Chains A and B, each alone.
Chain A
Amino acid sequence: MFGKKFGVVAASAALVSVVLTSCGGAEANNGGTQGQEAAAADGKKSVTLWIFDADPMYQSAAEATAAEVGVELKYEYIQDETYKTKLSVALAANELPDVFQQHAGKSYRTPVLQSKTVAPLNDTLDSTGLGAQFLDNQLVTEEDGNIYSVPSNISTTLVLYYNKKLISELGAAAPATWEDLQALIKTANDKGMIPIALGGKERWQADLLYDMLVAREDVNAFDKAINGQAKFTDPPFVEAANKVVTLVNSNAFQKGFLGSAYLDAQELFKNDKAVMWIDGSFNFSSLSTAMGDNLGYIAFPKTGAEDVLSATIGFQNAQAPYSLFVNNSSANVDKAKEFAIRLSLKLNDEFVRKGLPGYAKSEVKSESQNKELSAYAADINKTSKTQAMWFGLLSADVGQEYRDLTQALYGGQLTADEFTAQLETLLRTAE
C-alpha cells in the first residue's frame, strides 16, 4: 500500500515527534547523501563513520585509515544507548552512513542483514588481499555465502574489577569463592562501604551477572537448555537465581541500585565509594586511566561447581561479533569497503599492542601494559569456554523481556522458582 521507506519515515516521525523532542544525541549525519555533497566540493571522496565505542582509539585509528585510503573522514561518535535507537531507525529508513559499527549479538545483527542495506565485502577482501590477514573463522560468512562485515572489537568478556585501596582498608583480599564474596560483602557493609556497584536502570549489567552465575554452576547449562536437552528450571538456573536473591538480601548492591544508571554506578566505583564493579573487559582502558594502580581485576569468583577459568561470559559470539558494515547505497561504496576493512585491521593492531588476542595477523609488538591488563590477557587465553551473553543470542523482543524478567528477580518481585519457571516459558518460545 505504501512504500516501505516512506512508511518507516512517516511512522517513525509520528512516534518520535511525540516522544523524543529533546532526547536527541549527536546531530544527524547521513553519509549516504550528505557526505558525498560535502566531499564533492573539494573533489575528495568522503566516508561517514558512526561509532558507539567511546575509546579514543577508534577515532585515531579511523583518522589514520582515512589518510591511508585517501578519503575525507566524517567521524561521528554517538552515545551507546542513543546509538541503538538511531541505528534501528536509520536501518528501517535506509538512511545509513557509509560505514557503521554494530553491537554484537543476534538481536542487533539480524535486523542489519535482513534490511538488505549492507554491501558484501568479499570482492574487496579478495582484490586487496586483505581478507587473508584475518584469522580463521573471524570473518562471518552468511547463509548466502557472502561476508558482510569485518570485526570492530575483540571478544570482550565479563570480569570483576575491585578497588585495591578499599579492599586494603577492609583488610580483605579479592574474593576467590562464593564464601569469600559473601564475607567481603558483609565486611564492606559493616564499614559503611558499598560492596558492589550495579547499574540496574539499563538492566544489562544485572542480566549478565545472572548469566555468569549460571555459567559458574554449569558451563553448558544455557546451551543444553536452549537446545531442548534441558530446562531453564533445572538446578543450575535455580541455584544461580537463589544466589542473586542472596546477594540482594545481603545488601551487596548500593541502595536503590534498580534506579541507578550504569554510568552513575560506575562513578561510585571510580570514586572509592564501592569496592567491586562487574563490567566488560572493554573498560580496562578507561578504568585504568581513572583509577591507576588502584584498579584490581579477577576473572570472577568460583561461585559454583565450575572452575574460574572453565567459562566466562562474552559480549559476542562467533556468528554475531561487534562489526563494521558498509552501506550498499553509499556513493563511494568501493572506498567505504576498503576503509572499513583497513580500519578493522588497524583496530586489531591496537588490541595486539595492548597485549590482547587479536582477530587478525599483526606485526605490531605487544607493549608493556599495566599488571591487571596483563593478568586478564593471560586468563582469557586459558579460559576454556566463552559463553555468549544470552541477550545477544535472542531476538530483540525476547531479549528485552528477558531483561525485564531479571529485573523482577533483582527487585524481589519473583522468587528463584517463579523466575526460572517464567524463564522456561519465555526462552522456550524463543527457541
Chain B
Amino acid sequence: MEKALSNKKIIALFLLPGLTVFLIFYFVPIVMTAYYSLQDWDGINPMAFIGLDNYTKMFTMDKSFWQAVWNSLAFLLVGVFIQLPVSFALALLVSRKMKGRKWFRNIYFFPVVMSTTMVSLLWVKIYDPNIGMLNTLMDTLGLGAWTGAWLGDTKTALLSVLIVTTWHYVGYNMLILFAGIQGIPEQYYEAAKLDGATGWKAVRHITFPLLSDVLRICIVLNVIYALKTFESVYVMTNGGPLNSTTVIALKMFQEAFLKQNFGYGSALAVFMVLECLIISWVLNKILTQEKIEY
C-alpha cells in the first residue's frame, strides 16, 4: 500500500474523481458565469456579446449597486468588529469553571442550529411594528417613544437585519473560539498568575496570542459569510425598503431571476467571487504571522 501511495500516477488516479467533480460543479460554472457576464442575455433568447458593458453599467449607472456594496461592507464590519468580539467574550465566559457553563454554552449556540429562514421569519414577527413583541415590550417598559417600524423604515432596516445576523451566528464563532481556548494548556495561566498576570492581562498576553490562528479562521469565515449574505435579507426585507438593505447576492438574484437579465446577474456574481477572493487574500496576508509558542 505504501509503495502504491508513493507512486504519483496512482495518487493522481485517486484524486481524479474528486477533481473531476470539483471541476464540473465548481470551476466550470464559475468560468461560464464569467462568460455570460459579457453577454446581453435573458436566459432564453440568443445571447449577444456586449464586452464589458455589464460591468460598465454596474460601476457607473446602477445606483443600487453601490448601495449593495456598502450594505455588504456593513455586514462585514459588523461581523468582524461586533460579532467576533462578542463571540470572544462569550467564549471566555463559558470557559470559566463556573456552575451551569454547559447550559450557557448550549443556550448561546442554540440559534446556530436553527435555519436562517426560520430565524428570519421569527424576527420579522418580533419586529412587526403593529403586532410585534419588540414594540409591545418597549411600550410596557415606558419606552414607547423609541418604538419604530424597524424593518419598514429605511433608517432602521439595515441595523435591524444586522442585529439578527449577529444574534444568529454569535454562537458559531463562540464555539470555535471556545474550542481554541480549551486547547491552551492550563499551566501557562498558572505561570502567568505567579508573575501577577491575571484577568485581562492573562487574556491579552496568553489567550489572544495563542488563539491567533483560530481568530484568523473566524475572521475569514465571517468576511466570506458577510459578503455572501442573502437568505436573511431576502426573507426579512427583500432588500427594501427602497433598497436600504439590498446586498450583492440579493441583487444578483433579482437581476437574473426577476428581471431576467442573466448577463448582468452573472456580472454581479463575478464581482462577488472576485470580492471574496481579494478580501480573503488580503486578510490572509495581513493576519499571517509567526506561530507563537511559549
Contact = CB atoms under 8 A, between A and B. Distances in A.
A88 B43 contact: yes
A2 B32 contact: yes
Contact of B151 (A18, A89, A259): A259
Contacts of B148: 256
A192 B188 CA distance: 64
Interface in B227-256: 228, 230-231, 234-235, 237-238, 240-243, 249-250, 252-254, 256
A7 B272 CA distance: 20
A209 interface: no
Contacts of B115: 22
Nearest to A14: B29
B56 to A, nearest CB: 17
B98 interface: no
Q: Which 8 A-B pairs rank lowest in CB-CB distance, beginning with the nearest?
A: A256-B152, A256-B149, A259-B152, A258-B241, A14-B29, A259-B151, A397-B259, A92-B43
Contacts of A194: 130
A23 B237 contact: no
A128 interface: no
A115 B44 contact: yes
B257 A85 contact: yes
Contact of B249 (A11, A19, A203, A255): A19
A15 B266 contact: yes
B91 interface: no
A236 B12 CA distance: 72
A1 interface: yes
A92 B129 contact: no
B255 to A, nearest CB: 8
A308 B234 CA distance: 38
B122 interface: no
B44 A201 contact: no
B242 A258 contact: yes
Contacts of A261: 124
A397 B33 contact: no
A147 interface: no
B43 A407 contact: no
B265 interface: yes
Nearest to A396: B260
A258 B269 contact: no
Interface in A1-43: 1-2, 7-8, 10-15, 17-23
Contacts of B218: none
| From A14, A200, A203, residue with most partner B Cβ within 10 Å | A14
A111 B259 CA distance: 11
Given A23-B231, A92-B44, A400-B259, A264 B29 contact: no
Nearest to B266: A11
A337 interface: no
A202 interface: yes
B25 A15 contact: no
A12 to B, nearest CB: 8
A17 B115 CA distance: 16
| From B129, B153, B258, residue with most partner A Cβ within 10 Å | B258
Interface residues of A, number: 50
B280 interface: no
Contact of A255 (B36, B116, B152, B256): B152
Contacts of A114: 44-45
Interface of A: 1-2, 7-8, 10-15, 17-23, 84-85, 88-89, 91-92, 111, 114-115, 194, 200-203, 254-261, 264, 268, 273, 396-397, 400, 404, 407-408, 411, 413
B234 A23 contact: yes
B143 to A, nearest CB: 16
Given A2-B32, A254-B130, 13 more contacts: A2-B35, A10-B32, A11-B33, A11-B36, A11-B262, A19-B231, A19-B252, A92-B44, A200-B241, A201-B240, A259-B149, A259-B237, A259-B241
B130 A256 contact: yes
B117 interface: yes
A408 B44 contact: no
A194 B149 CA distance: 14
A382 to B, nearest CB: 36
A18 B230 contact: yes
A85 B234 CA distance: 13
Contacts of B254: 400
B154 interface: yes
B92 interface: no
A51 B260 CA distance: 21
B214 interface: no
Nearest to A115: B44
17 contacts: A10-B32, A10-B33, A11-B36, A13-B25, A19-B231, A19-B250, A19-B253, A22-B115, A23-B117, A23-B230, A84-B257, A88-B260, A254-B130, A258-B149, A259-B151, A261-B124, A268-B131
A287 B78 CA distance: 43
A11 B152 contact: no
Nearest to A395: B260
A261 B131 CA distance: 13
Contacts of A413: 242
A254 B43 contact: no
B259 A396 contact: yes
B210 interface: no
B163 to A, nearest CB: 15
A23 B230 CA distance: 10
Contacts of A8: 43, 262
